[in-house]
């Protein structure tokens, strides 16, 4: 049974979906959710799900080894589920090909610093894209540049708004993210 630690910054809908998915498998379990935002709704979700959710500060992540030490003790895989900070090199180095992120666009389009959530959907709309989707990828030391594991597309209609695009993306995230995480875990040979 592999151990997953999820990083989240916001509402935690993807974190909840992943936690619930792995409660019904023998592949892995979510041991902790780590969050950099004290006001994030993910804390409420984790409480209901009886999953440990810990807050951490920027220094714990970038300057000290506080977060790294938690990960070394509690994680085989790290999942970024709406987490907005760039992962420090020391964590990337400690977990090669074991950190997975989901991005709400078809990378390499609409990736990089500042491209998250509605910023992405607005850019897709502003550029009159006819399709968008999700990209599940490995994490390296740069925003959204790790190797692509999986992509799924959806059509963007002329009448779609950033909000309707967000809804389509969330459906893809909920459907595919836990399954792809499980596939990666099952296909990783130590």
Using one digit for the tens of pLDDT, what is the confidence trace for 130-175? 999 999 999 998 899 999 999 999 999 999 999 999 999 999 999 9
Q: Which two tokens stand for residue 2?
A: 């592999």
The fold for domain 2-187 equals Rossmann fold (3.40.50)
Residue written as token pair 């390499």 = 108
Query: What residues does each domain of the chain span?
Result: 2-187
Q: What span, in angstroms and rounded, lies between the C-alpha atoms of 32 and 35?
A: 10
CA atoms within 13 A on the CB side of 65: 5
Would you say 99 and 76 are in contact if contact means Cβ atoms under 8 Å apart? no
Given 103, 137, 157, 189, the catalytic residue: 103
Residues 6+ away with beta carbon under 8 Å from 22: 4, 28, 29, 30, 178, 182
CB count in 10 Å sphere of residue 97: 15
Statement: residue 189 has pLDDT above 90: no
CB count in 10 Å sphere of residue 129: 17
Statement: residue 64 has pLDDT above 80: yes
Q: Is 180 helix (H, G, I), strand (E, B) or coil?
A: helix
pLDDT tier for residue 124 given thresholds of 50, 70 and 90: very high
Q: Specify whether 103 is catalytic.
A: yes
Q: What is the mean pLDDT of residues 82-90?
A: 94
Q: What span, in angstroms and rounded, lies between the C-alpha atoms of 97 and 18?
A: 19
Q: What is the mean pLDDT of residues 100-117?
A: 95
């Amino acid at each position: 049974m592999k151990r997953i630690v999820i990083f989240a910054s916001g509402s935690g809908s993807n974190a909840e979906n992943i936690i619930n998915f792995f409660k019904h498998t023998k592949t892995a379990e979510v041991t902790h959710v780590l969050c950099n935002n004290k006001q994030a709704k993910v804390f409420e979700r984790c409480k209901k799900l009886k999953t440990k959710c810990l807050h951490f500060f920027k220094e714990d992540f970038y300057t000290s080894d506080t977060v790294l030490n938690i990960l070394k003790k509690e994680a085989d895989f790290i999942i970024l589920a709406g987490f907005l900070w760039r992962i420090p090199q020391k964590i990337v180095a400690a977990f090669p090909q074991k950190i997975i992120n989901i991005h709400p666009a078809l990378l390499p389009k609409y990736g990089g610093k500042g491209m998250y959530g509605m910023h992405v959907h607005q850019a897709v709309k502003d550029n009159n894209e006819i399709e968008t989707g999700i990209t599940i990828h490995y994490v390296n030391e740069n925003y959204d540049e790790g190797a692509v594991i999986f992509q799924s597309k959806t059509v963007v209609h002329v009448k779609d708004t950033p909000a309707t695009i967000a809804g389509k993306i969330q459906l893809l995230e909920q459907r595919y993210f836990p399954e792809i995480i499980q596939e990666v875990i099952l296909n990783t040979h130590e």
